[in-house]
Amino acid sequence: MQEKQAIEYWKKAREFLAEVLSPDIYERWIGVIDAAGDDLGDSQLTLTVPNDFYQDWLVENFMPHIRKALSAAGCENPAIHFAVDASRQLREMPEERLQGGVPPAAPAKSSARKAAVRSCNVGSPLNPKNTFENFVVGPSNTFAHAAALAVVEAPGRAYNPLFIHGGTGLGKTHLIQAMGDAVLKGKKGTVCYISSEKFTNEYIQAIQQHAIADFRKKYRGIDMLLIDDIHFLAGKEGIQEEFFHTFNTLYENQKQIVLTSDRPVSEIANLQKRLVSRFEWGLVTEMEMANLETRVAILRRKREQMDLQVPDDALFFIAEHIRSNIRKLEGSLLRVTSYLSLTKKALTQETLEYLLRDTLEQENQTALTIEGIQRLVAEHYDIRLGDMTSKQRPQNIAFPRQVAMYLCREMTGQSLPAIGNAFGRNHATVLHAHRLIGQKMKTDAALRQTILSLEQRLGTVAAPN
Q: What phi and psi, each to the nearest 5 degrees, are found at residue 84?
A: -90, 125
The span from the CA of 17 to the CA of 19, in Å, is 5
Does 182 engage in binding with ligand ADP (CB under 6 A)? no
- Candidates 77, 168, 253, 465: give the one binding ligand ADP (CB under 6 A): 168
CB 76 to ligand ADP: min, Å: 27
Cβ closest to Mg ion, residue 173 vs residue 402:
173
The span from the CA of 321 to the CA of 218, in Å, is 45
Could you tell me which of 275, 353, 274, 344 has the C-alpha nearest to residue 321? 353
CB 285 to ligand ADP: min, Å: 13
Does 163 engage in binding with ligand ADP (CB under 6 A)? no
**Partner whose footprint covers residue 168, from ligand ADP, Mg ion, none (CB < 5 to 8 Å by kind):** ligand ADP
Does 239 engage in binding with ligand ADP (CB under 6 A)? no
CB 260 to ligand ADP: min, Å: 7
CB 294 to ligand ADP: min, Å: 7
**Partner whose footprint covers residue 97, from Mg ion, ligand ADP, none (CB < 5 to 8 Å by kind):** none
Asked if 407 and 398 count as a contact pair (C-beta separation under 8 A), the reply is no
The span from the CA of 140 to the CA of 385, in Å, is 9
Q: What are the residues binding Mg ion (CB under 5 A)?
A: 172-173
The piece of 2-10, 103-111, 192-200, 324-332 that touches ligand ADP (CB under 6 A) is 324-332
Cβ closest to ligand ADP, residue 171 vs residue 372:
171
**Partner whose footprint covers residue 195, from Mg ion, ligand ADP, none (CB < 5 to 8 Å by kind):** none
The span from the CA of 275 to the CA of 92, in Å, is 49
Asked if 136 and 298 count as a contact pair (C-beta separation under 8 A), the reply is yes
Residue of closest CB approach to ligand ADP? 171
- Candidates 70, 268, 298, 299: give the one binding ligand ADP (CB under 6 A): 298
**Partner whose footprint covers residue 131, from Mg ion, ligand ADP, none (CB < 5 to 8 Å by kind):** none
Does 135 engage in binding with ligand ADP (CB under 6 A)? yes
CB 346 to ligand ADP: min, Å: 28
Phi/psi region, residue 169 (left: phi>0; alpha: psi -120 to 50; beta: rest), is left
Whether residue 50 is preceded by a cis peptide bond, meaning omega within 30 degrees of 0, is no
Instruction: For the segment 42-81, give every residue that binds ligand ADP (CB under 6 A).
Output: none
Could you tell me which of 398, 353, 378, 354 has the C-alpha nearest to residue 454? 378
Does 173 engage in binding with ligand ADP (CB under 6 A)? yes
CB 370 to ligand ADP: min, Å: 21
CB 302 to ligand ADP: min, Å: 7
Sheet holding 44-49, edge to edge: 34-36, 44-49, 79-84
Does 331 engage in binding with ligand ADP (CB under 6 A)? no
CA distances to 52, 176, 244 from 247, rounded to whole Å, are: 33, 17, 5
SS (H, E, C) 200-244: HHHHHHHHHCCCHHHHHHHHHCCCEEEEECHHHHCCCHHHHHHHH
Cβ closest to Mg ion, residue 88 vs residue 172:
172
Could you tell me which of 153, 154, 151 has the C-alpha nearest to residue 162? 151
Cβ closest to ligand ADP, residue 323 vs residue 327:
327
- Candidates 75, 326, 333, 373: give the one binding ligand ADP (CB under 6 A): 326
Instruction: For the segment 73-132, give every residue that binds ligand ADP (CB under 6 A).
Output: 130
Could you tell me which of 236, 225, 224, 226 has the C-alpha nearest to residue 268? 236
Does 327 engage in binding with ligand ADP (CB under 6 A)? yes
The span from the CA of 325 to the CA of 288, in Å, is 10
Coil vs helix vs strand at 34: strand
The span from the CA of 250 to the CA of 273, in Å, is 19
Does 330 engage in binding with ligand ADP (CB under 6 A)? yes
Cβ closest to ligand ADP, residue 14 vs residue 327:
327
CA distances to 14, 37, 74, 143, 334 from 17, rounded to whole Å, are: 5, 21, 14, 45, 22
**Partner whose footprint covers residue 169, from Mg ion, ligand ADP, none (CB < 5 to 8 Å by kind):** ligand ADP
**Partner whose footprint covers residue 453, from Mg ion, ligand ADP, none (CB < 5 to 8 Å by kind):** none
The size of the interface with ligand ADP (CB under 6 A), counted in residues, is: 17
Residues lying near ligand ADP in the complex (CB under 6 A):
130, 134-136, 141, 166, 168-174, 298, 326-327, 330
